């Protein structure tokens, strides 16, 4: 795991280019405290910060090929590097280290961009070709590792693992894009390839990038959700056996490291399955970490302890209080370089794991998306079946129903109104399901400039047309699953997991977000993958022999913090300050009166479901405020 950076430009004086890359690397020390390196090449300068996981004594980057033609910087982990190494040795490649970086470089030398389909892991890397004078970069299939880039006005390209690094180069201007404000209020994030900043792009998951010294950039997708039918199980028993084999294989791959490895353990089925599979695969005295709260309705302490006891792990439960979060908020806000309404749980879990002596931790992230853990897997197909009947209702009756739903105080009624008002098919339903704010509320919160952009872009997800085409032929379960993976999982959960784990120099791995596992699971019969009567039945049955029955049978409880209670208690002073006139003024794209009304409705009301909307706006204001100070 590392932070990578680079500057491609024919016109920039090499010494100035190297200084810019060194500044970018210094801005990412937390991503790689173990080593640093900068390579000044003809036409490009590459840099990195390293968190040493494989062969810590070796693997210095940037790394050059034996003939000097290719230079690589790499962030992530390639779990099948040993298998690839044996294959490459047969092709005549010799190796000096035991690290995955050298294998990745040799794979690119041998197969060029075709190496991407051979890689099992999480990655964002860049390779400079000294002969062609071009840079090739790529990001893993699901967006576990980030890569941001910006084109220079006078030619050239700057890239890095974090936005803060781009701005540290002094080659990129930190200018908020007014259109991004409305996107953030809609989706909890600004969907790739855009970011919060004008002229700065986020390379989408499963994409590659190629650029030259003049700053000409071309991008394309190297991975799509598979269309071909593979090894399809004929019976449920065969499916469960196949799933278990895939899970075992993924855990074995993700456990590989030359440093201590632990796991997050919330007490839910996803993290319990990961921990159980790790213990069964031979992990000696596994360290596990969970967050607990004084608020019993939110705490999973007893469930996590049950699993820890079942597998004999060295378990640490960290108590998190509203007062502690309030005191830590300046550090938490400083850790992200784009606003987020999520991720604080990952901040504390990562901090706890790093302080507990591990450098790598495995998480159960991805289980809900693969095995139907969200209500959307039931609600969206049901609503889709009703849409034709809704469409034939008289327009006047539709308007009366929508007005009634929009006037209701609860968030579920308002979300239903949004879906009925804007969705025409399954893809629109699946994408709109992840909206944070109803369209009417979102537009009311936006000042005129940002509102014009929001009205121009419309209520739908920017990926709608392209992604719907990619998913042609997918059934309802696959459609909802893919939308969850490509939007909320990629743009929020995985992004925040990277940001907040790296803030503590922790490599966070997600064995359920594994390309071989997902490619095997995708074409399997939906009736095997999902049973609306039994939550995540497939995962529970595949791990029946290791996960305690009490965990397999318990109702779903998300890995969340008691924000609704804290926001009316310990976090209230922070929020009062955030929603003050002075703070809102730092974000001129918001309508101050509407923002204050949103806060008053929550603070004086009883709808706890609305907390995420209020928190999302508060984080945006704090982000703008932070930008004014830097």
Report CA torsion sign: 559, 565, 566, 567.
Answer: positive
CA distance 547 to 543: 6
140 within 8 A of 77, measured Cβ to Cβ: no
Per DSSP, helices labelled H in 60-160 are 81-90, 100-111
Mean pLDDT of 374-385: 95
CA distance 101 to 53: 11
pLDDT score for 629: 53
Q: Which tens digits make up the pLDDT trace of 453-511?
A: 999 999 999 999 999 999 998 999 999 999 999 999 999 999 999 999 999 999 999 99
88 within 8 A of 110, measured Cβ to Cβ: yes
Which position has the higher pLDDT, 299 or 18? 18
The two tokens of residue 64 are: 């050059």
Q: What is the maximal distance between C-alpha atoms in the chain?
A: 74
pLDDT score for 227: 67
pLDDT score for 610: 86
Read off the pLDDT band of 1 (50, 70, 90).
Answer: low
pLDDT score of 158 more than 90: yes
Residue with tokens 């006891």: 309
Count CA atoms closer than 13 A to 444's CA, side-chain side: 11
pLDDT score of 15 more than 70: yes
Residues 6+ apart with CB under 8 A from 568: 603
CA distance 572 to 611: 12
Q: How many CB atoms lie within 10 A of CB 235?
A: 10
Residue with tokens 């009703």: 386
Read off the pLDDT band of 226 (50, 70, 90).
Answer: confident
pLDDT score for 284: 76
From first CA to last CA, the distance across the chain in angstroms is 27
How do 217-221 and 207-212 pair as beta strands? antiparallel
Count CA atoms closer than 13 A to 543's CA, side-chain side: 32
CA distance 552 to 316: 22
Residue with tokens 């005191």: 327
pLDDT score of 188 more than 80: yes
The helix or strand, by DSSP H or E, that contains position 121, with its residue range, turns out to be strand 121-129
Q: Which tens digits make up the pLDDT trace of 600-610?
A: 999 988 778 88
Burial code (b: 16+ CB inside 10 Å, e: under 16) for 512-534 equals bbbbebbbbbbbbeeebbbbeee
Read off the pLDDT band of 628 (50, 70, 90).
Answer: low
441 within 8 A of 418, measured Cβ to Cβ: no
Lowest mean pLDDT among 204-218, 278-292, 295-309, 593-607: 295-309
How do 207-212 and 63-64 pair as beta strands? unpaired
3 state DSSP class of 242: helix
The two tokens of residue 165 are: 């690094």
pLDDT score for 346: 95
3 state DSSP class of 7: strand
Mean pLDDT of 531-543: 93
Q: Which tens digits make up the pLDDT trace of 99-115?
A: 999 999 999 999 999 99
pLDDT score of 558 more than 70: no
Q: DSSP character for 590?
A: B
Mean pLDDT of 122-142: 97
pLDDT score for 341: 84
pLDDT score for 296: 79
How do 2-8 and 217-221 pair as beta strands? unpaired
CA distance 293 to 319: 6
Mean pLDDT of 573-600: 96
pLDDT score of 561 more than 90: no
pLDDT score for 342: 85
* Beta bridge pairs of residue 579: none
Mean pLDDT of 71-99: 96
Three-class DSSP labels, 160-202: ECCHHHHHHCCCCCCCECHHHHHHHHHHCCCCCCECCECCEEE
* Helix, strand, coil fractions of the chain, as percent rounded to 5: 50, 15, 35
pLDDT score of 592 more than 60: yes
pLDDT score for 273: 96
pLDDT score for 229: 64
The helix or strand, by DSSP H or E, that contains position 138, with its residue range, turns out to be strand 134-139
Three-class DSSP labels, 379-433: HHHHHHHHHHHHHCCCHHHHHHHHHHHHHCCCHHHHHHHHHHHHCCCHHHHHHHC
Q: Which tens digits make up the pLDDT trace of 336-367?
A: 999 998 889 999 999 999 999 999 999 999 99
Lowest mean pLDDT among 12-16, 33-37, 503-507, 568-572: 12-16
Q: Which tens digits make up the pLDDT trace of 31-67?
A: 999 999 999 999 999 999 999 999 998 999 999 999 9
């Amino acid at each position: 795991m590392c932070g990578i950076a680079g500057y491609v430009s024919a016109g920039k004086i090499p010494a100035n280019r190297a200084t810019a890359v060194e500044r970018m690397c210094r801005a990412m020390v937390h991503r790689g405290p173990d080593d640093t390196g900068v390579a000044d090449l003809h036409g490009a300068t590459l840099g990195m910060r390293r968190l040493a996981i494989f062969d810590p004594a070796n693997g210095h980057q940037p790394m050059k090929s034996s003939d000097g033609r290719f230079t690589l910087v790499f962030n992530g982990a390639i779990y099948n590097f040993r298998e690839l190494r044996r294959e490459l040795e047969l092709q005549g490649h010799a190796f000096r280290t035991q690290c995955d970086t050298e294998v990745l470089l040799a794979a690119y030398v041998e197969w060029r961009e075709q190496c991407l389909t051979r890689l099992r892991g999480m990655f964002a890397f860049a390779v400079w070709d000294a002969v062609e004078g071009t840079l090739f970069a790529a990001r893993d299939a699901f967006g576990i590792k980030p890569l941001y880039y910006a084109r220079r006005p006078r030619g050239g390209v700057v890239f890095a693992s974090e936005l803060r690094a781009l701005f540290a180069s002094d080659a990129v201007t930190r200018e908020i894009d007014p259109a991004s404000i409305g996107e953030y209020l809609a989706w909890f994030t600004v969907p790739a390839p855009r970011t919060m900043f004008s002229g700065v792009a986020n390379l989408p998951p499963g994409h590659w990038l190629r650029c030259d010294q003049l700053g000409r950039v071309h991008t394309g997708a190297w991975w799509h959700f598979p269309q071909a039918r593979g090894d399809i199980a004929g019976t449920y028993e065969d499916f469960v056996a196949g799933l278990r084999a895939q899970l075992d294989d993924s855990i074995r791959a993700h456990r590989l490291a030359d440093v201590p490895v632990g796991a997050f353990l919330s007490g839910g089925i996803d993290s319990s399955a990961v921990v159980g599979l790790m213990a069964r695969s031979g992990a000696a005295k596994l360290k596990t970490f969970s967050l607990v709260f004084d608020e019993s309705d939110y705490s999973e302490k007893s469930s996590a302890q049950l699993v820890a006891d079942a597998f004999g792990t060295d378990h640490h439960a960290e108590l998190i209080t509203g007062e502690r979060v309030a005191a830590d908020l300046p550090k938490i806000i400083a850790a992200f370089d784009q606003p987020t309404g999520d991720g604080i749980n990952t901040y504390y879990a990562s901090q706890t794991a790093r302080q507990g002596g591990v450098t790598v931790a495995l998480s159960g992230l991805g289980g809900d998306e693969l095995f139907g853990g969200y209500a959307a897997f039931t609600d969206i197909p049901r609503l889709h079946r009703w849409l034709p009947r809704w469409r034939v209702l008289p327009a006047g009756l539709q308007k009366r129903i929508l007005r009634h739903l929009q006037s209701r105080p609860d968030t579920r009624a308002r979300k239903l109104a949004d879906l009925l008002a804007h969705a025409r098919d399954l893809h629109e339903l699946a994408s709109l399901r992840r909206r944070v704010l109803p369209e009417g509320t979102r537009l009311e919160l936006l000042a005129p400039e940002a509102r014009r952009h929001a009205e121009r872009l419309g209520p739908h997800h920017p990926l709608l047309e392209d992604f719907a085409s990619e998913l042609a032929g997918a059934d309802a379960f696959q459609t909802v699953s893919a939308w969850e993976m490509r939007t909320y999982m990629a743009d929020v959960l995985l992004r925040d997991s990277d940001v907040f784990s790296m803030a503590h120099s922790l490599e966070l791995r997600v064995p359920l977000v594994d390309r071989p596992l997902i490619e095997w699971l995708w074409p399997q019969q939906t009736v095997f993958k999902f049973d609306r009567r039994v939550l995540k039945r497939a995962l529970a049955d595949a791990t029946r022999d290791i996960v305690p029955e009490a965990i397999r049978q318990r109702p779903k409880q998300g890995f969340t913090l008691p924000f609704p209670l804290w926001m009316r208690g310990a976090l209230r002073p922070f929020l009062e300050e955030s929603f003050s006139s002075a703070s809102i003024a730092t974000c001129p794209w918001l309508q101050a009166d509407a923002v204050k009304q949103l806060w008053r409705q929550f603070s004086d009301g009883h709808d706890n479901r609305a907390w995420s909307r209020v928190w999302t706006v508060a984080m945006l204001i704090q982000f703008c405020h932070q930008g004014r100070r830097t």
